[in-house]
């Protein structure tokens, strides 16, 4: 049943610092949370609270304005600002700032359901929508839209437990410690899609999670838990689909076009919380790691907690980090201020020491070795895309299908000349989007 995908690399896993550390609760709750109104693909949410309002955990504070998912308060307290704030993605965006009253008062609307067995597929989709659940492994696509658009179209559900990015262990710990939520949440999604079988793909550096989830599936055998030979970027949607089903998603097409629907393990656990406990998505598990922090750890924190607070939970820096990254080292984004905050898809704060962070000072010119072409899982030609991007010849990069680049970083990782290829591609894609908008 397992197939190969083209390209990929094998970076050092560097998960040892946190893979055996159980998910911790915060030692100290944040005094303030800054909750961005854009945490998903689609239009930013519209704030529905104003400065001075009192809010409760789980209360809606941002409503959808088009494609999107609502956003809820992650702490109880007083709204002290509704204004643009810096985000980990680099672009400032509207945010609701809540001063924590440390009372942990939950909205009365958030209460456990006693009729979960009789919920219809549409009722499950509506619950997922109202709970503001979005993809928790990366892009942040609204989950209810993904399910709705796959009804009657998808014949295969795949749960992504690959967690192929180095350093990150949040999903690994989730599968080990909250496996019941993963399995039951997945069965709700199966019911919503009216499918009676699903797969969970997990890399074989997490065999304890494979064994645990297999034992939870038990004799029902409605879910196949697949151990996948470790290879980055196996957790990318298209690669995971190909690895498990052998189906290749064509350029510019979606998983549903080949009959597949992929969800992250964190997403299905959030579905469980929404359906069973009536709790919207207000917190998540995050890995705070890298050799620059004193005590790397996995912890659960309310959305909107600052990176600064998360680093304090890891007992602070032992050296000034060479770089702080939101996400993993391959696909994450560098952040330059620690006052940015975690969102629904933030799975890691990575604080790299000077030893860990490869410098760019010895950058050389391209030697046309073609290694980047050999590892690109999207069958692109990074060497040429880079040549045109450097000359700001955006149309030429488009002809080379740069918009299909998923910014996985394989080309940059393998490049002996240490050329910052992904940065070039992000710039080129941004320019192409600007050109398209002008048109
Ligand atoms: S970053 Fe883009 S060009 Fe480079 S390997 Fe990944 S998909 Fe290919
Ligand atoms: S891997 Fe680097 S040096 Fe080799 S062809 Fe690609 S861009 Fe040039």
Per-residue pLDDT of the chain (439 residues; tens, 9 = 90+): 568 888 999 999 999 999 999 999 999 999 999 999 998 888 899 999 999 999 999 999 999 988 889 999 999 999 999 999 999 888 889 999 999 999 999 999 999 999 999 999 999 999 999 999 999 987 789 999 999 999 989 999 999 999 999 999 999 999 999 999 999 999 999 999 999 999 999 999 999 999 999 999 988 889 999 999 999 999 999 999 999 999 999 988 889 899 999 999 999 999 999 999 999 999 999 999 999 999 999 999 999 999 999 999 999 999 999 999 999 999 999 999 999 999 999 999 999 999 998 665 567 889 999 999 999 999 999 999 999 999 999 999 999 999 999 999 999 999 999 999 999 999 999 999 999 888 7
Identify the burial level of 401 via C-beta atoms within 10 angstroms of its C-beta, where 0-12 means exposed, 13-18 middle and 19 or more buried. middle
**Assigned token pair, 143:** 């989950």
Structural domains present in the chain:
116-277 (3.40.50.11540), 371-438 (no CATH)
Identify the burial level of 116 via C-beta atoms within 10 angstroms of its C-beta, where 0-12 means exposed, 13-18 middle and 19 or more buried. middle
Proximal ligand: closest to the CA of 364: 2
Mutate to test the pocket of ligand 2, among 376, 387, 415, 424 (most ligand atoms within 8 A of CB): 415
pLDDT value for 438: 84
CB 415 near ligand 2, within 6 Å: yes
- Indicate the SS3 state at residue 198: strand
Mutate to test the pocket of ligand 1, among 382, 386, 422, 425 (most ligand atoms within 8 A of CB): 382
CB 407 near ligand 1, within 6 Å: yes
Q: Ligand 1: which residue has its CA nearest to atom 5? A: 376
Ligand 1, atom nearest to 404 Cα: 7
Mutate to test the pocket of ligand 1, among 332, 397, 411 (most ligand atoms within 8 A of CB): 411
Side-chain half-sphere CA neighbours of 279 within 13 A: 16
Q: How far is the CA of 411 from the centre of ligand 1 (A)?
A: 6
pLDDT value for 41: 82
CB 411 near ligand 1, within 6 Å: yes
Cα Rg for the chain, rounded, in angstroms? 21
Q: How far is the CA of 388 from the centre of ligand 2 (A)?
A: 14
Q: Ligand 1: which residue has its CA nearest to atom 8? A: 376
Ligand 2, atom nearest to 370 Cα: 5
Q: How far is the CA of 415 from the centre of ligand 2 (A)?
A: 5
CB 31 near ligand 2, within 6 Å: no
CB 151 within 8 A of CB 50: no
What are the two backbone dihedrals, phi and then psi, of residue 387, each rounded to the nearest 5 degrees? Answer: -60, -45
Q: Ligand 1: which residue has its CA nearest to atom 1? A: 407
Q: How far is the CA of 420 from the centre of ligand 2 (A)?
A: 10
CB 385 near ligand 2, within 6 Å: no
Report how far residue 172's alpha carbon sits from residue 207's, in angstroms, rounded to the nearest whole number: 10
- Indicate the SS3 state at residue 269: helix
pLDDT value for 429: 95
Q: CA nearest 155: which of 210, 185, 199? A: 199
CB 22 near ligand 2, within 6 Å: no
Proximal ligand: closest to the CA of 414: 2
CB 366 near ligand 2, within 6 Å: yes
Q: How far is the CA of 352 from the centre of ligand 1 (A)?
A: 23
Q: Which residues contact 91 (CB under 8 A, 6 or more apart)?
A: none
CB 405 near ligand 1, within 6 Å: yes
CB 409 near ligand 1, within 6 Å: yes
Report how far residue 205's alpha carbon sits from residue 228's, in angstroms, rounded to the nearest whole number: 9
pLDDT value for 293: 98
pLDDT value for 361: 59
Q: How far is the CA of 324 from the centre of ligand 1 (A)?
A: 22
Q: How far is the CA of 173 from the centre of ligand 1 (A)?
A: 29
CB 389 near ligand 1, within 6 Å: no
pLDDT value for 359: 60
pLDDT value for 437: 86
Proximal ligand: closest to the CA of 367: 2
pLDDT value for 413: 95
Report how far residue 267's alpha carbon sits from residue 143's, in angstroms, rounded to the nearest whole number: 8
Mutate to test the pocket of ligand 2, among 358, 360, 375, 382 (most ligand atoms within 8 A of CB): 382
pLDDT value for 91: 83
pLDDT value for 406: 94
Mutate to test the pocket of ligand 1, among 421, 424, 428 (most ligand atoms within 8 A of CB): 421
Report how far residue 439's alpha carbon sits from residue 432's, in angstroms, rounded to the nearest whole number: 11
């Amino acid at each position: 049943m397992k197939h190969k995908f083209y390209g990929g690399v094998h970076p050092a896993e560097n998960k040892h610092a946190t893979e055996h550390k159980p998910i911790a609760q915060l030692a100290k709750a944040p005094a303030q949370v800054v909750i961005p109104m854009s945490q998903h693909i689609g239009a930013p949410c519209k704030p529905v609270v104003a400065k001075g309002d009192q809010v409760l955990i789980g209360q809606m504070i941002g409503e959808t304005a088009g494609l999107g998912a609502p956003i809820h308060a992650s702490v109880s307290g007083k709204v002290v600002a509704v204004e643009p704030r810096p985000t980990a993605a680099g672009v400032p965006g509207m945010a609701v700032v809540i001063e924590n009253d440390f009372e942990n008062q939950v909205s009365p609307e958030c209460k456990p359901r006693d009729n979960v067995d009789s919920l219809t597929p549409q009722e499950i989709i509506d619950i997922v929508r109202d709970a503001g659940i979005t993809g928790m492994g990366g892009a942040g696509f609204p989950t209810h839209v993904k399910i709705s658009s796959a009804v009657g179209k998808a014949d295969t559900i795949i749960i992504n437990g690959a967690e192929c990015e180095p350093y990150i262990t949040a999903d690994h710990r989730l599968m080990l410690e909250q496996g019941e939520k993963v399995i039951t949440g997945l069965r709700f999604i199966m019911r919503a899609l009216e499918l009676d079988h699903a797969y969970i793909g997990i890399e074989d550096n997490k065999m304890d999670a494979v064994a645990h989830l297999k034992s939870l599936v038990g004799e029902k055998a409605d879910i196949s838990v697949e151990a996948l030979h470790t290879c980055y970027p196996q957790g990318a949607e298209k690669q995971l689909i190909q690895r498990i089903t052998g189906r290749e998603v064509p350029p510019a097409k979606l998983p549903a076009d080949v009959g597949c629907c992929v969800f992250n393990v964190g997403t299905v656990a959030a579905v469980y919380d929404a359906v069973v406990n009536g709790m919207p998505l207000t917190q998540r598990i995050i890995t705070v790691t890298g050799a620059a922090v004193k005590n790397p750890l996995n912890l659960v924190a309310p959305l909107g907690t600052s990176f600064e607070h998360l680093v304090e939970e890891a007992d602070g820096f032992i050296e000034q980090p060479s770089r702080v990254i939101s996400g993993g080292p391959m696909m994450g984004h560098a952040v330059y201020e620690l006052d940015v905050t975690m969102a629904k898809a933030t799975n890691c704060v990575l604080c790299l020491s000077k030893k860990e962070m490869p410098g760019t000072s010895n950058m050389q010119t391209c030697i046309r070795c073609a290694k980047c072409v050999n590892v690109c899982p999207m069958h692109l030609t990074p060497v040429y895309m880079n040549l045109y991007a450097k000359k700001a010849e955006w149309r030429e990069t488009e002809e080379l299908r740069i918009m299909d680049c998923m910014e996985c970083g394989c080309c940059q990782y393998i490049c002996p000349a240490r050329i910052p290829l992904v940065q070039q591609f992000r710039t080129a894609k941004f320019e192409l989007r600007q050109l398209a908008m002008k048109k």
